[in-house]
Structure formats: C-alpha cells, structure tokens
Structure 1
C-alpha cells in the first residue's frame, strides 16, 4: 500500500467519524422570553454544552406577548417547532390535560424535586406528575425609592393601602425633572396589563365572574379599580404608559424615573443591581397594597418554567437541558458568576435557607412571604367559580384577557373613559364566556 493510499484511507476514516459525530449531535430549539433572567441563562450555557457536547442549542427569544402567541400556536397544532418552551403556571395544567406536554419524570436523583417550593410544584403538576420545571417563581410587591419617600416626609408601611400608595405617588412626582410617582403595566395582554389589573381588582374585592359565570365589570368594585388605576397612571405615571410592560418599567425604575413600581418580585434582583440600576442603594420593598377594610393583598403566583412539548423528537435531550437549567447546580453557577443576589428566585426551599443568599438579597423574605400568602383557590373575597390569581384558569382566558387588556390600554391612552372601557369589557367577556358554554 502506497503512502498516498494510506493517506486517502486515513482521511476517509476521519470523515466517517466526523460524519457519525455530526449525525449523533442533537439540536434543541428553545423558545424563551426576552427578560433578564432568561438572557442570563443563555449566556451561561457553555457550562451545559461542556457537560453535554452531543447537544447543541438554538434560541428563539421573543417579547412576552409574541412568545405566548407563538408557542400556543405551535403546541395546539402539533407543529413540532420547539423542543423546549418557556411557559407559565396558566398554561401547564391546561396543556398537560390535553396531552400536549411530556411528563418530567425520571429526573436525576440530584435534581431534588422535593426541594421545589410546594406552591410552585403543585401549580406545575397534574395528578402528582410534574409537567414543567420552574426557572424562577414570583409573586408581586411594591418596589420604591427610599430617598424620595424621605424627601417627601413619608414612610412606606410594610403593608400599605391603596390610599397610602396614591398619597406617596403624588408626593414623589416631579414631572419637571422627569420623575414619576408610580410606574405600572399598561401594555395590553392577558399576562401584561391584565396580570397587574386583575391582581389590583382582587385587592379591591372585585371578581371576573359570579357563581353563574356572569361577567362582573359592571360592579362597583371594578369601577373603583379601573378609576383608581387610571388616576394613578394619568396623574402620577410616565407618558406613553399604555406601551409599558415589565421590561419598559424595569428600565424606567433603574434610570431613577419611578418613585414606585408595583410588579413581579423577580424584579428586585435587577433594581438592586449596582451595575444596572442607578438607584440600587435606595430601594425599599413592601407588600402588594390592599383596599381599606379588606384583608386581601391581591398577590399573584407565577413561575416562568421550562416544558417539553409532546411533539418534540428529542425528549431525552430536552429533559437533560431542563434539568440543568432549573437545578441547584445552575443556581450555584449564577451565584459564582454574578453573586447570590442574581440567583433565580422563588423556586427552591434551599435557596431561602441559604444564609449567603439571605445576606445578599434584602428582598428574599418579602418574596417568599408574598408567594406563600397567595391563595389561587380563592383570590377574591367574593365567591368565584374559577381558580387563579392574576389570571383565570380556563382555556378561554388567553383570548378574553387579551381583549379586555386592549380595551383597558385604550382607556389609559385616552381613547375612552373608565365607564366606557368597563362597559366594553363586560360585553366582550360575557359574549365569549356564553359562546364557550359556561353559562349553559
């Protein structure tokens, strides 16, 4: 055999090995939301690929409303576009009940499913089987500027009323210097402005439906909720608020332009990050407000979670990724790279028992208390035929909530008043709930 023949044979063998390796590599397509925690996770995936060189990752990162639309369409049509989806506590029980999600059984022993916070684990399970793994969990609370409160001569109670919030918003507003007393969600969407407004309505004693599935937007409680929301935003909020969602308000608060921001507890790690927030050293926290005379703070429960659609052809590889991204090891990786304050909150008991985390995260206790206070079975003080907190746990809510969110956002933009918006929401909601057969 000549040297040339040997060289050709060797090259052929190498090509064959390379071809087999390429053929054995699995590519996972992951759909996720464009928020800070998910962006951070993408930046740390070298750790995963080093441990799993046979699994490649492709990311589809989308704005929240677009993500929900894309993954819902894909899974409902068995499209198979994604191997891992970022979804929430609303979708999991509904989609699992339709056999659209792969069960997350046989996770590694060191994953420690029992360490997941009970409320979050229950929300992501059906008949005791986990169908999504929580990346981070949250409730809602007030984040406020301690320096502006001090300048205004006010103190924020640990458990304020809406009247006290209104007073503080007025006192901290300084429009000449581009500082606004309060920032709230205005961008339309069932998980955007309606997440906040539904929670606020719960705290005002309102409900979406009575026990006969009759819409309740014509009630005094809803009128008070929307009227006060529009007053807060129009009098003391930033301009263009009807376009502001979580990310936009986070940016405004970090820039020092909001006296208060009432939103997801997960934001606390970002507003206290000295590398990102100009007001990191002057942020305080308080419970979600309640209406005077009502002991109901309107807390919500949400977890952005990773789930595997049943249509995926790479279930085992997808499960390997999900286990990595939601593990104790990932939490420790974040702490090592960016400090314990940045660890994904609201998913594991062990995190809240960690003294290093407690010391680094002054918001830890408030987050845990807020999450543990949520009653998804009875979020309103009135009788209701549904469950949920900032959403209604029925398949039709995605469409109904988005429609009502568009109406309320239009009211915020000045296109109609509160009475007109509530009347429109009433007819929109009742028409759809009747069409779905709930009132039969």
Structure 2
C-alpha cells in the first residue's frame, strides 16, 4: 500500500469519524402501534439522507405516551425534540405557544396535498403546528367467512341492532371465537374513543350548551347498556384490559367475528404475513342507531409535532418533514407494498390507482374521514368541537376518569347505572371547578 493511499484512507476514516461525532441526536417520543414501529425499521433511509442527524426513539403505550408528552411540553422540559400527538392536543397546545409552528418546511414538502379534513384540525390561524403521519376514522372490520357460515349479512351501513344480531350468530365460545371485539381498556383515547363515538351515533352528547354533563340522559344509558351487552354476551374474556393493540392481535389470530375500531387497522388485518384471516375480511361503515343518519363519529390523526422547549429545531423539522412526506409514503410502498402506506393524510394517495388496487379499504376509509363533522358530532347542538374527544384541556383528565368507571362496569365491579352516576358526578365537579359551570 502506497504512502499516498494510506493517507487518503486515513483522511476518509477521519472524515467519517468527524461526521459521526458531529451528528446531532434528536429524541422522538411515539406510540407503540404498527405504523410507528414500521417507521423505525426504515431509519436507514433517513440516515442516508441526513447523516448529520441521529434519532433516538422512546416508544410508549398510548396512555403512557400521552402522560409523558403532556408533562414535558407543559413544563418545556426538553426531554423530546419530536413528539407524536393527536389532533385533540394540537389546537390546544398551539394556543398555549407550546409547539413550534411548521412555517418553513423543506422545499417540496407539499402542504397543499394534505387532506383538508385532517390538516384543518392541525392549524391555528392558518398555520400548521403538526404534520399528520396518518389519519383515521372508524369502521367495522368483520370475518366474511364466519358471517357466511352463520348466515348473516352485514350491510355497508349497519345499525347497532344488525351488529348485535351478527355478533350473536358468529359467537362460538367453544372454539374461542367471539362475535365482537371492542375496546375496554380505560383511557380517554382507549375505551372512551370507542364509547364516545358510539354515544354520538346513539344521539348522546358529553355536554349540553351550558356545559352540564349529560350522563344522566336516556341516550347515554342506552349507549352504555348496549355496549356492555355486546361485550358481556359476545366479547372475549378480560375485555376490560383490551385496547387497540390487544384487539388487533385477537382479530389477526381469527378470534373476532367483528372488530369496530380505527380505519388504520385495515392494512394490518389484511396483511397475509401478520393476519391469519387476511383473505376473509370485509368492511362496513361505523354503525348508527336505527333511523339515525351519519357516516362517521370518529376522527383522529397521529401527528408529529415539535415542542417549543427543543434546542434542536432544525434537525427536528428535517425529521418531521421526512416522516410525513409523499416520498416516505413511496418508500413504505416500495418496501412493504402499497397496502401498508400510511393512510388518511394525503389527497394524492387516494388518487393513486396502485394504492386503490392494493387497499380494498381505501374508499371506505376516505368516505369515513370525510363524513365526520367535528363541529356537529351528534344530533343535538354542542358547545365544543370534537368527535370521539371533546376539544377542551380538561378532557384528558375527565375522559380518563369516566373511562375508568366504564371499564369497571365492564369488569363487573359496578353496574351501568352506578358507572353513569359516578361519571355524571365527577364530570360536573371538574367542570364546575374549571369554571365552565357557574
């Protein structure tokens, strides 16, 4: 080896070491769901484009994530440089100046391509404060083979009576097949995401126009009673501990006749590498009470936002732009197929014939998202915006406390009447303390 070549090799090695030592590390807090785990598996592509940025992940269960990021952003603690938050938090935190405005995203990001139904909820005074990674509504996912064997038909727009009939027909406890799987784990974004959506579809509302809670209403009594009947008669054992991930696993293992949950789950239940029933999955709209119209009562997006306390804003913004770009969607499609592309955020995805051909759930997902009106989530007028959530800061605490009461009712620890009475009392107390009720 010549002296010159040794010198060149040494210089290259020194340069590589220098680049590595100069790399800035950002910490990303995210939820432990399939799409976010998938992103972590693609970090080699990000690193190739951004060799000067290292990414450290903090991956948490949904309820824990919400607690950690809320505490950190409120105190400007600086633990995280990028955080995964929902469309519930974004407008509230933006008003508090807790988030960095995304006003100068890299050239080619194409903010105009973001779906209005999702992006409008992430803007404050016209400025984007979080970039959507995926968006969702909710729908019925069901086993077509079990429905056929049971002699039931699930219409495209079912009512709750038809859902109950189908659940009864498909339940086979001797073979550990449960007619329906629903969220039971306590949390404002866990069981209350489903139960609030069900309540909207039944004509219930969280508050009247004077901010008085409505858990003493007939509509809420009907909602909780029907939910408990479905789960106790046709659901899996231990349902009070099941959230999104647990029900996803049950459905993929072939143990659920129906699962009513987020539309984002569709790509996972139809993945032949993960789901034993991938070839036997049908889809229907989120149910409504018979005679009550509506196509969607659930609107959610998981978004990447930058807390105002970060000292690494430029690197954080580069990561957010990469992870929520059209190019990232293309990367997922190249690696895992178009079916796996993050849904519900970009108009161009639903104009892509390759995606439409690969994702039999695409049209229903799009219709469900566009069918939600967060200004009018139920039949009666309300003083809040929302869907499966209520857009006030106090909802995190109240929603989780109410969710604990309803989860206890599912576990048989209290009756439906007791759970509703407790929900009414604790919510009225907190709303009075916060000044909503005079």
- 2:138 paired with 1:174: no
**Are the aligned partners of 1:133 and 1:306 in contact in 2 as well (CA < 8 Å)?**
yes
SS at match of 1:164: helix
- 2:270 paired with 1:268: no
What is residue 308 of structure 2 aligned with on the other side? 310
What is residue 416 of structure 2 aligned with on the other side? 418
Change (3 A) 1:78 1:145: same
What is residue 280 of structure 2 aligned with on the other side? 282
**Are the aligned partners of 1:202 and 1:298 in contact in 2 as well (CA < 8 Å)?**
no
With 19-28 and 137-146 compared, the bigger mean Cα shift is at 19-28
With 294-303 and 9-18 compared, the bigger mean Cα shift is at 9-18
What is residue 91 of structure 1 aligned with on the other side? 89
What is residue 143 of structure 2 aligned with on the other side? 145
**Are the aligned partners of 1:203 and 1:297 in contact in 2 as well (CA < 8 Å)?**
no
How far apart, CA to CA, are the structure 2 residues paired with 1:327 and 1:10? 38
Give the Å deviation of 1:439. Answer: 1.3
What is residue 42 of structure 1 aligned with on the other side? 40
What is residue 3 of structure 1 aligned with on the other side? none
SS at match of 1:285: strand
What is residue 333 of structure 2 aligned with on the other side? 335
What is residue 231 of structure 1 aligned with on the other side? 229
SS at match of 2:108: helix
Give the Å deviation of 1:392. Answer: 0.3
Give the Å deviation of 1:109. Answer: 2.6
Change (3 A) 1:14 1:342: closer
How far apart, CA to CA, are the structure 1 residues paired with 2:396 and 2:305? 19
Write the mapping of 1:378-417 to structure 2, written as runs, cut at 5 A: 378-417=376-415
SS at match of 1:53: coil
Give the Å deviation of 1:296. Answer: 2.9
Give the Å deviation of 1:254. Answer: 0.3
1:44-97 deviation per Cα after TM superposition (whole angstroms, max 9, x unaligned): 010000111000010000000000000001111110000000001000000111
**Are the aligned partners of 1:218 and 1:426 in contact in 2 as well (CA < 8 Å)?**
yes
What is residue 431 of structure 1 aligned with on the other side? 429
What is residue 251 of structure 2 aligned with on the other side? 253
Unmatched 5+ stretches in structure 1 = 1-8
How far apart, CA to CA, are the structure 2 residues paired with 1:133 and 1:10? 43
How far apart, CA to CA, are the structure 2 residues paired with 1:52 and 1:379? 42
Write the mapping of 1:4-403 to structure 2, written as runs, cut at 5 A: 21-22=19-20, 24-403=22-401
Give the Å deviation of 1:152. Answer: 1.1
Change (3 A) 1:156 1:127: same
Change (3 A) 1:110 1:232: same
Give the Å deviation of 1:14. Answer: 9.2
With 105-114 and 430-439 compared, the bigger mean Cα shift is at 105-114
Give the Å deviation of 1:140. Answer: 0.3
With 266-275 and 298-307 compared, the bigger mean Cα shift is at 298-307
How far apart, CA to CA, are the structure 1 residues paired with 2:337 and 2:13? 44
SS at match of 1:110: coil
SS at match of 1:147: helix
Give the Å deviation of 1:15. Answer: 10
**Are the aligned partners of 2:296 and 2:371 in contact in 1 as well (CA < 8 Å)?**
no
How far apart, CA to CA, are the structure 2 residues paired with 1:373 and 1:39? 29
**Are the aligned partners of 1:133 and 1:326 in contact in 2 as well (CA < 8 Å)?**
yes
SS at match of 2:120: helix
1:5-33 deviation per Cα after TM superposition (whole angstroms, max 9, x unaligned): xxxx9999999867754553110100000
**Are the aligned partners of 1:198 and 1:390 in contact in 2 as well (CA < 8 Å)?**
yes
**Are the aligned partners of 2:296 and 2:369 in contact in 1 as well (CA < 8 Å)?**
no
How far apart, CA to CA, are the structure 2 residues paired with 1:178 and 1:363? 27
SS at match of 1:75: helix
How far apart, CA to CA, are the structure 1 residues paired with 2:114 and 2:209? 33
With 331-340 and 100-109 compared, the bigger mean Cα shift is at 100-109
Unmatched 5+ stretches in structure 2 = 1-6
**Are the aligned partners of 2:147 and 2:153 in contact in 1 as well (CA < 8 Å)?**
yes
Give the Å deviation of 1:352. Answer: 0.3
How far apart, CA to CA, are the structure 2 residues paired with 1:149 and 1:23? 59
1:91-150 deviation per Cα after TM superposition (whole angstroms, max 9, x unaligned): 000011100000111112311100000011101110110010011000000000001110
**Are the aligned partners of 1:376 and 1:389 in contact in 2 as well (CA < 8 Å)?**
yes
How far apart, CA to CA, are the structure 2 residues paired with 1:327 and 1:418? 45
TM-score by length of 2: 0.96
1:382-433 deviation per Cα after TM superposition (whole angstroms, max 9, x unaligned): 1111110000000000000000000000000000111010000000100001
- List 4+ stretches of structure 1 deviating above 4 A: 9-20
